[in-house]
């Protein structure tokens, strides 16, 4: 029953697709403490985009990526989201993530999109 309710809820949300990762990206193992430290590090959207990390690491066997979402006023309102490279839903929870709706820039406003942040940093992603 809970699974059915979750699927109905997911059907009404915009779900972020996994990132297309370059074959040059390497995923070194990353632990809980390092993920928490990264999530707590302030993100400067006006910093050099070439230094924005995409491939964060391999957490408990799952690729962790950073998505950078912006809309019509880039880079001013760019948001960094650290997440498993999985769609939100049952596969996310099975991997140790949390299906979480996050506010992201859309058009001239803000909308909700579902992401799969690792459980250890889900509360830090807003």
Q: What is the mean pLDDT of each run of 10 residues along the chain (126 residues)?
A: 46 65 77 97 89 90 91 83 94 96 85 94 94
d(CA 117, CA 108): 25
d(CA 59, CA 98): 14
pTM for the model stands at 0.81
């Amino acid at each position: 029953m809970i699974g059915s309710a979750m699927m109905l809820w997911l059907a009404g949300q915009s779900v972020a697709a996994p990132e297309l990762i370059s074959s040059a990206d390497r995923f070194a193992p990353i632990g809980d403490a390092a993920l928490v430290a990264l999530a707590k590090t302030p993100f400067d959207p006006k910093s050099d985009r070439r230094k924005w990390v995409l491939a964060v690491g391999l957490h408990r066997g799952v690729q962790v990526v950073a998505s950078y979402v912006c809309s019509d006023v880039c880079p001013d309102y760019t948001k960094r989201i650290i997440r498993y490279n999985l769609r939100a839903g049952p596969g996310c929870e099975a991997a140790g993530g949390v299906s979480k709706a996050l506010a992201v820039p859309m058009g001239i406003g803000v909308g909700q999109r579902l992401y799969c942040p690792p459980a250890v940093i889900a509360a830090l992603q807003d």
